[in-house]
Structure formats: C-alpha cells, structure tokens
Structure 1
Amino acid sequence: MRKYLIAGLLVWLPLAITVWVLHAVLGLLDGIFAAVLGAAAKVAPPGLAGFLGELHKIPGLGVLVLALLLLATGVFVANFVGQWWLRQWDGLMHRIPIVKSIYSSVKQVSDTLFSSKGNAFREAVLVEYPRAGSWTIAFVTGKPAAEVAPLLGDGSEHVSLYVPTTPNPTSGFFLMVPKSQLRPLAMSVDAALKHIISMGVVAPSAPSPAAAVAPSDPNPIG
C-alpha cells in the first residue's frame, strides 16, 4: 500500500505544483489588470466605466493583454522612433533620485541575461567550492572588470562565475576564479539548472561523443 501511494504521489505532485504555480501567476496578473481597469473606470464616462468593470471578470484576459502589450512594445522599440523614445525614458528614470539606482541595476542585469549578444549563463562548469576537494556546478557570466582583473594576483586569466544555491537557484554567490581551475561541462545550462534544483536527484543525460570535451584540451573555456 505504501509503495502504491508513493508511486501515485510521484505522478500527481509535479502536476499539482505546476498548476498551483500557474494559477498563482495568472491570479497575480489578473489582479494587476483589474486594478488598472478599476482606476480607468473612475475617470471614464459612465457608459465606458460599466464596460471596463465587466472586463476584469473575464479570466485570463490580463495575461492576454500583457502578452499583447509586450509584443506591441517590442515592435515599437525595434524601430528608430521607438529607440529614441526609449532613450528619453531611460534618461528620465536615471534623473530620479533613489529610482535611478534601482532602475539602472535591474536594467543592466536584465540586458545581460536576456540580450542575444550577452554571455551570461552560456556555459556550465565545475568549480572547487567552498573548500578544496568539494566541487559544485557554476555558470560563467563573463570576465572581471578592467579595474579588478590586475589585482587578482598571479596574472593568470580569471573568469566571473555565478554559483547558485539549491533548491533555489535565484540566490547564490559571485566568484572570480582562475580559468585554469575550472572544469568545463558538456551539459547545457538548462540541464545544469535542473541538476542543481533537484539537489542532484535529476541527473543530466550523458553527452554524445561529439559534444564531449576532448581530454587533450583541459581548458577550452573562452
């Protein structure tokens, strides 16, 4: 009986958690959309106010509106006029005290993570951390800043690493480590994240021979 209960739990638990997370996200977006509609209804004419009040009762409409808004924004900023307005907006946000610190930090991180030209989280490696003989998976995020690099000691090339925690990879540690001390992995970033989140329970599939790192090249990290 216990074996069958556990087997059933393993089938339904991932689905239940997935549905719960999606429901929470949809509820949050619908709540924001309802708040916006409520504010708009207060300043709209009586006839339009009633129509706006009915819109927030439609489930999932907030998600659809948000997706359309993101799409329209992306189309707008992809042209010359949109780029000009985006620069004006950035300039305005950078002139507001307190706001400019938060906005600029978040923008730099988001541009690095989501830009197709960025190099954040492009490669998974093994690093000896937090002590000698203990290894963990980390992600190469770039190279140390020009001011920092000359102060790192022996003149060897260093790389910047993000070492995530488990089971929550959104928190972690930032390290600058000699490139020679890293061991590159053939697994993808997605596979490495799954391995970290599962605390090692979900093992990535073995890489094909063509994708494996050649033994004669112990340090191909670039």
Structure 2
Amino acid sequence: MQGRSRSIHLSVHIHKDPAAMAERAAHIFAAACEEAVSERGTFTVALSGGHTPIPFFQLLAKSDWADRLPWDKMSFFWVDERCVDPEHPDSNYGLARRELLSHVPATHFYRMRGESDPVEAAVRYEQQIRTEFNLGPDEFPRFDFMLLGMGDDGHTGSIFPDSPALVEQKRLVIDQYVPERKADRLTLTLPVINNARLCLFLVTGSEKHEVLSRALNLLAEPTLPAQMVRPRGGDLIWIVDEAAATGN
C-alpha cells in the first residue's frame, strides 16, 4: 500500500461564518458516510477537539441531521487527546461527547485514555486501532473521515512544529511532551493521517491567515505540520471562514 503512487485532491471552501462552515462540513460528512457504508458497511471517523468544530458537532446533533445518519454503522476514534481525565473541560473526547455523541444513537467509541500514563496510553490505543482495523504488523489504518484543525503555529492534531512526531514513520500513535503547552499529549501520526480517504480541516480567525496561506501551498517544501497533511489518493478539504481567508 505504501509504495503505490497516489494523487491528492485538494479543495478549499470559504464561508462567511462558523454556522455556514458547519453546514458545508455536515454535507461532506454525510456524503462520505453514505459512500463508506454503501461500499464497506461501516464509516470510520477520527475527531479533533478545540473550539472550532463545536458548531459542526452541534449541527450534527440536531434532529434534522441526526435522524438521517446511520449512527449504528459509525465508529468514532480520536486524532489526538490532552492527557487529562475525560470529564476535564480540556478533554477532546469529553467535548465530542458533550456536543455530539451524547445526543445521537452512536455506540462505537474508541477514545484515547488521556487519564492514563501517556506511554502506556499510546501503546494501548495503537493496539486498539490495529485490532479494530484488523491490521498486519506494517499496515496503517485507512480512516474514512479525518476531522482536523490548525493552530496559529501550523500544528494539527497534537503534532507541533519541531516535534519528533514529524519524522515518525512506523508508529500509529505517539505520546509526547509539548513544551509550548507544558503538557503531555497523545496523537495519531502523519502516516496514519495521510492514509485517510478524506481529511477535512476547519479553520477560523484572521490570526491564522498567514499560516493558512503557507499550509495551502502544496507546491512548496512542507515546513508546517498542517502543510504535511497530504492524503495519498484521498481528498484534502479545507473549510475556512472569510477572516482566515482574507486576514480581515
């Protein structure tokens, strides 16, 4: 699988506000779900945290969206997690549970254990992914939908600039201490992210305009973590607000 040549399909959608962004993301999510369930019988999703995806989560939780989606055929994983208890306000799992998962009939959740020892939690999550995807020793999972965000330093997931995670090629999940945040994090690695069928970024705010311009330049040598997200044979979709797109 790793040796095959794959093209990248990039699209950028600019919307006025987070509500319009969420609507666009919901349509993309539903279309990806329909295709995955039709072809493979299940829809595998990896979620990110932060404030940006909240309108998207809340929209999916509303009845007009929730009632039309096959939640029993979805499996939810996480792109990254803060090393905190799931009840902690900073927990990515806790955010998704509060804003989305507790409001819909979804039952297949595979969370990162942020409250456990980070080294053990990373190993455990990698083993869980390998089991759920029925992977061989050198295989990577192929998620159907990967929800991502980007910080104003260009980080995505918990892969930060100058992080050892940037050069990791074998592991699926790593633990790392992030000096900028003075905290431990768990994160999927770039080979896992880049093996997804669809990577969708949600980005808001004028303060991210410059870094967004750099991240979208796929012709340049990648220097930012978000710029290194280049799914092989998959779709790369950016949904951004006007402030991020224009800097105003």
TM-score (norm 2): 0.25
Q: Which has the higher contact order (CA 8 A, sep 6+)?
A: 2
Rg larger for: 1
The structure richer in strand per residue is: 2
TM-score (norm 1): 0.27
